[in-house]
Amino acid sequence: MTWSPARFPALVLLIPLAGCSGDPDGQGAAGGAAPPGEAERQVSACFFTDSAIECGPVTDDAARVRVDDFYPSACVDGDHDGDRMPDFLDPDDHGGGLDDPLRCSTCDRGPGEHGDFRYEVDRGEARLDRGTVYFFDRDRNRLLVPAPYGDIVAIELSSGTRIDDGYPAPGAEIRVEGWVDDHGVVQADRLKVLCRAPRPVRPEDVPPECEPVGPPAS
């Protein structure tokens, strides 16, 4: 049985995606729809930390120089469908094709291709064949993965979770097998890192105009 928001409303945490503080309307680079024509022009600078992916607008050459200094731990990407979600994180539309040497890297290891979202639930057993981590709540050992239509899936790790081929830091693409608890959180029995995240930058190296993509689950 394949995931859909209508079929499994309890399995997906419905949380609006946050924006970047540089936007006067509070929309930013990660939430809300862009006006017609703006999406093609908008480019976001994204920085990978050990707990989040923080993005903000690229407004001048100095912003590009800062990304270049930290690349690939910082990168730029477009917003092909105008939903203010950088293409490399967007499960609805990740085919923007931004032509830029600093573009966020992609990886097609494992089932499907980079940016795919494949999630199935059958009688409480959950299987995420491919998803991208955008937030790691270390206090609760919980990962957040974006799903279509602005939803998210929360995945909790435990001492019994088997983790193969790396660490599921923000930016990593992962495969997960487990079960869904009464709160709609996937309790992971096994996690495999399909594509590793970039080396994280220090929080103090993230520009102040950037904010985490998507708020943590409550």
212: which strand partners? Answer: 54
Q: Is residue 21 part of a domain?
A: no
More confident residue, 16 or 123: 123
pTM: 0.78
Q: What is the pLDDT of residues 25-74, one digit of tens each?
A: 334 334 444 444 444 457 899 999 999 999 998 888 999 999 999 999 99
Residues 187 and 144 in one domain: yes
Q: Is residue 66 part of a domain?
A: yes
CB under 8 Å to 198, separation ≥6 — which residues?
A: 48, 72, 73, 75, 105, 171
Residue 99: its pLDDT value, please?
Answer: 84
Q: Is residue 30 part of a domain?
A: no
Burial tier of 179 (Cβ tally within 10 Å: 0-12, 13-18, 19+): middle
Whether the per-residue pLDDT at 4 is higher than 90: the answer is no
Q: What is the pLDDT of residues 85-106, one digit of tens each?
A: 788 888 877 655 678 999 998 7
Q: Is residue 3 part of a domain?
A: no
State the residue range of the domain holding 145: 9-13+109-195
Residue 148: its pLDDT value, please?
Answer: 85
* CATH code (residue 177): 2.40.50.320
Residues 206 and 102 in one domain: yes
131: which strand partners? Answer: 174
Cα 100 to Cα 62, 141, 151, 156, 187: the distances in Å are 16, 35, 29, 35, 38
C-beta of residue 198 within 8 angstroms of C-beta of residue 71: no
Cα 136 to Cα 42, 101, 109, 181: the distances in Å are 26, 28, 22, 19
Residue 149: its pLDDT value, please?
Answer: 78
More confident residue, 159 or 87: 159
Residue 25: its pLDDT value, please?
Answer: 37
DSSP-derived secondary structure letter, 161: -
Residues 81 and 139 in one domain: no
Residues 116 and 95 in one domain: no
Q: Is residue 163 part of a domain?
A: yes
Listed in order, strand segments (DSSP E) in the chain are 44-48, 53-57, 74-77, 118-122, 125-132, 135-137, 142-146, 152-156, 162-164, 173-180, 186-195, 211-212
Residue 178: its pLDDT value, please?
Answer: 98
Q: What is the pLDDT of residues 98-140, one digit of tens each?
A: 789 999 987 877 666 666 788 999 999 999 999 999 999 999 9
Residue for token digits 């200094």?
A: 69
Q: Is residue 29 part of a domain?
A: no
Residue 135: count of CB within 10 angstroms of its CB: 21
Q: What is the pLDDT of residues 161-217, one digit of tens each?
A: 999 999 999 999 999 999 999 999 999 999 999 999 999 999 999 999 998 986 555
Residue 22 binned pLDDT confidence (cut-offs 50, 70, 90): very low
Number of domains present in the structure of the chain: 2
Residue 213: its pLDDT value, please?
Answer: 84
Burial 43-79 (b: 16+ CB within 10 A, else e): bbbbbbbebbbbbbbbeeeebbebbeebbebbbbbbb
C-beta of residue 111 within 8 angstroms of C-beta of residue 117: no
Residues 190 and 205 in one domain: no
Residue 5 binned pLDDT confidence (cut-offs 50, 70, 90): very low
Q: Which amino acid is at 24?
A: P
Whether the per-residue pLDDT at 9 is higher than 50: the answer is no
CA atoms within 13 A on the CB side of 98: 26
Residues 136 and 176 in one domain: yes
Residues 73 and 178 in one domain: no
Residue 59: its pLDDT value, please?
Answer: 85
Residue 31: its pLDDT value, please?
Answer: 43
Rounded-to-integer distance, Cα 100 and Cα 211, Å: 22
